[in-house]
Amino acid sequence: MSITMYHASVPVFTRLLNNLAAILQKAAAHAETKKIDPSVLINSRLYPDMFPLARQVYIATDNVKGCIARLAGQEPPRYEDVEMTFPDLVARLKKTVDFINTFKPEQINGTEDKDIELKFGRHELRMKGLPYLLELATPNVYFHLTTAYAILRHNGVDIGKNDFLGSNQ
């Protein structure tokens, strides 16, 4: 059996974002139990020049919704980046999962050679669908999810590898 573009994207991203939502819920419970202002965790970063937890979630969800929409030939929805509570961040993750799960396999499959254009200010990046998915979007999602995990773990939230991977690992 060969893997399809759909199976390499939507189910993988769905699982990752759902796992992060569960991690954020554990972080919220941790903050409540330890009497920590949740904004301390949400604004925490690993190093002064790195983005805080909330921004890691924003970027991960932007990469996911952007990737799936672009592969399907649609414009990704815009989010306002205003979520600053654990429930709001979890809702953003769930909104993104709901969005990508509206796509059918036939909208994503066969996009390996699709031309993808990304604009970053005055810069443009052009690549084909398969390298976009495997070499840009997916690694970016993993980077920002891993960083979010590391921020919370560094701040004492009782999470581990199984939380990151999901319960059936």
- Specify if 1 maps to a domain: no
Domain with residue 139: its CATH number is 1.20.120.450
Q: Is the pTM of this model over 0.75?
A: yes
8 Å CB contact between 65 and 76? yes
Per-residue pLDDT of the chain (169 residues; tens, 9 = 90+): 689 999 999 999 999 999 999 999 999 999 999 999 999 999 999 999 999 999 999 999 999 999 999 999 999 999 999 999 999 999 999 999 999 999 999 999 999 999 999 988 899 999 999 999 999 999 999 999 999 999 999 999 999 999 999 976 5
Buried b (16+ CB within 10 A) or exposed e, 102-127: ebeeebbeebbebebeeeeeeeeeee
- Specify if 100 maps to a domain: yes
In one-letter notation, the amino acid at residue 9 is: S
- Specify if 42 maps to a domain: yes
- Specify if 2 maps to a domain: no
DSSP-based three-state secondary structure for 153: helix
Please give the residue range of the domain that contains residue 105: 10-165
- Specify if 3 maps to a domain: no
Domain count, the chain: 1
- Specify if 62 maps to a domain: yes
State the residue for tokens 């390996």: 112
- Specify if 87 maps to a domain: yes
What's the CA gap between 2 and 128, in Å, rounded? Answer: 19
- Specify if 5 maps to a domain: no
**Given this model, what pLDDT does residue 1 score?**
65
